[in-house]
Each structure stands twice: as C-alpha cells, then as structure tokens.
C-alpha cells in the first residue's frame, strides 16, 4: 500500500512557495537594519526578532488559508491549534 497516493504534491509545493514568498516579504523589511533581539531563554541564548515573529505569522496565515484545521508544533514544544472556517 502506497501511503503517498492521495497526497497532492503540487498543492504542497504551491503552499510552500507562497509561504516562503510571504516570509521573504516580511523579513526583507528588516534586512540590514538595526533591530531589537529578544532572548527566549533564561539560561543560554536563543535569539528571536520581530522579523522572526512576523515571518512565522505570515507562514501560518498561508497554511491556514488552505486547511480548515491545522495544528502547529512549535520549537519550544508547545502546540498551537487554530481552526479556520472555509469561505463559502
């Protein structure tokens, strides 16, 4: 049994391209500019910037445009679930 037979790889490709373009649009606003860096850790250093946060939101927005219910597993192990109703 082929577990990939019902996967629309063209759709996945389009979603990934769109998400990366949106993230690029966001992050280029910050390129070669002085920006604040936040440390997410109390011990050690794990930097995050406004560009990082906005790019993540842009990527999530693209993905949730295509899927009604999606769960995101984020780096720090938390899960974020967002339910989106389809238009129409």
For residue range 11-57, list pLDDT tens digits in order.
Answer: 999 999 999 999 999 999 999 999 899 988 888 888 889 999 999 99
Among residues of the chain, what percentage have pLDDT more than 90? 45
Residue 83's pLDDT is 47
- Contacts for 74 with CB less than 8 Å, ≥ 6 apart: 80
Strands (E), the chain: 37-39, 47-49, 69-73, 79-83
Task: Look up the pTM and report it.
Answer: 0.71
How many domains does the structure of the chain reveal? 1
Q: Which domain holds residue 66?
A: 9-83
In this structure, the chain runs to a length of 88
On whether residue 1 sits in a domain, the answer given is no
Residue 13's pLDDT is 95
Nearest-angstrom CA–CA distance, 45 and 48: 10
On whether residue 3 sits in a domain, the answer given is no
């Amino acid at each position: 049994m082929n577990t990939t037979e019902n996967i629309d790889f063209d759709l996945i490709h389009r979603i990934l391209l769109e998400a990366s373009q949106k993230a690029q649009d966001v992050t280029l606003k910050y390129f070669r500019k002085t920006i604040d860096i936040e440390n997410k850790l109390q011990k050690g250093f794990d930097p995050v910037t406004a560009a990082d946060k906005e790019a993540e939101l842009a990527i999530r927005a693209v993905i949730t445009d295509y899927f009604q219910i999606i769960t995101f597993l984020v780096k720090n192990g938390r899960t974020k679930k967002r339910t989106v109703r389809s238009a129409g």
